[in-house]
Structure 1
């Protein structure tokens, strides 16, 4: 049985504003398929633009956290938030960026049992706190990040990524967004 991409309307490419269609076609050219998140958000063009502008600002930075570390945060917190779409999609990206076929599954199921460095444990401890108990964050949380070698800008990025994807996880779950099968074997 083939499930729909989302429980909300998914417009045809020909019916989308030109900038959205062009962005989607660029992603398709690069990856070989169109990730369902692009299709699901296309029915709300202003939100599509805002979502991907913030996503790209967080995830495509050249300085600070590595691209693999950024994806580790996404996968671990998406697992905590039980977001099938983000675990599968970002798990594929993480496997590729980390060059490790096992890391995404470990982080998604229980990051505390994964083979991680002390630096990455500190990073994911803070990310988890932001994702599910941000009201409890205190000076000791920031001290632990500093002790692990994270700068203030990197601490911000860890928190911002965890917070952004907490929102994204909730949106994907509310929309019943299904991951593309194309993600399943990437990086394995």
Structure 2
């Protein structure tokens, strides 16, 4: 069992036959007690420091564990966020493609409808022209523009007009009109 410095100071050595030199032994005992006291203090300080270090190591281990779990959680959250963003992007692309296909289908349908309307209008024009051609053959109008006998302007004489020629005091400008041939070009 270890002795404390106080116990060493109070040790009573038994005397033998010739005894011992008391002052030298007492001095030696005092030196041993002081030495042992210094070792005892150092041991206490080392023990205290060891406890502090053990506490700090435990705290660091706990912190490391917390950091590991936080890192794992962050990696998992990052992976989940990336996966969610990828799914959302895929969904947006799919919706955009579906919308583009719908717009294209609508445009094609509208084009087909317009082409059908154009074909119907062309057919109506052809049938109207056919009816007009059957009932009234296209007249030919020839206008002879010459100076009137009185000298006051040109004179227009249509071929089919009976009676005297019509004189105009100013020059004749013929209005542009749509010929039957032009209508046929539009119809088909």
* Shorter-chain TM-score range: under 0.3
Q: Which structure has the bigger radius of gyration?
A: 2
Q: Which has the higher strand share?
A: 2
Answer 1 or 2: higher relative contact order, Cα 8 Å, separation at least 6: 1
Which TM-score applies when normalising by structure 1? 0.18
